[in-house]
């Protein structure tokens, strides 16, 4: 009787390093360059045009009026990280980042406002 092909593979795996890494105790895996993380806003550049709020697919951007000007407020807990706002911003005031570790015990950390 011939041995099934899987047997050899199974036993060779006994002598191999694990395929997984212990995140974040032993090692922290960096995301690939260009990873879509939290969008950050440069409020000094923002003109308050409201295009980002109009295109946001998850309705995470709210427009508020402060000192007679409009500003977008980003509710990151609703964000789906599609970077559509980064793409439509006419003055490039919204910058993409690669941040992905977002868990917090203060909900106010997840709101970006001026």
Give how many residues touch other proteins by CB under 8 A: 24
**Distance separating alpha carbons of residues 88 and 6, to the nearest angstrom:** 51
Q: Does 99 bind other proteins (CB under 8 A)?
A: no
Strands (E), 1-114: 39-41, 61-66, 69-75, 94-96, 111-112
Residue 28 Cβ vs other proteins, minimum distance, rounded to whole Å: 16
Strand ranges across the sheet with 111-112: 61-66, 69-75, 111-112
Residues in the chain: 114
Tally of CB atoms within 10 A around 60: 20
Interface pick for other proteins out of 6, 14, 23, 25 (rule CB under 8 A): 6
The one among 55, 62, 70, 71 contacting other proteins by CB under 8 A:
55
In angstroms, what is the minimal distance from the CB of 87 to other proteins?
7
The answer to whether 30 contacts other proteins (rule: CB under 8 A) is no
Q: Write out the residues near other proteins by the rule CB under 8 A.
A: 4-6, 9-10, 13, 19, 31-36, 54-58, 80-84, 87
């Amino acid at each position: 009787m011939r041995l099934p092909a899987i047997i050899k593979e199974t036993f060779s795996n006994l002598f191999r390093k694990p395929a997984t890494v212990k995140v974040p105790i032993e090692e922290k895996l960096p995301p690939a360059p260009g990873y879509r993380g939290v969008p950050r806003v440069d409020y000094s550049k923002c003109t308050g045009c409201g295009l980002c709020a109009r295109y946001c697919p998850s309705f995470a951007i709210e427009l508020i009026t402060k000192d007679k000007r409009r500003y977008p407020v980003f509710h990151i807990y609703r964000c789906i990280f599609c970077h559509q706002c980064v793409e439509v911003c006419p003055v490039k005031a919204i910058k993409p980042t690669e941040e992905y570790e977002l868990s917090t015990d203060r909900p106010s950390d997840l709101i970006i406002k001026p």
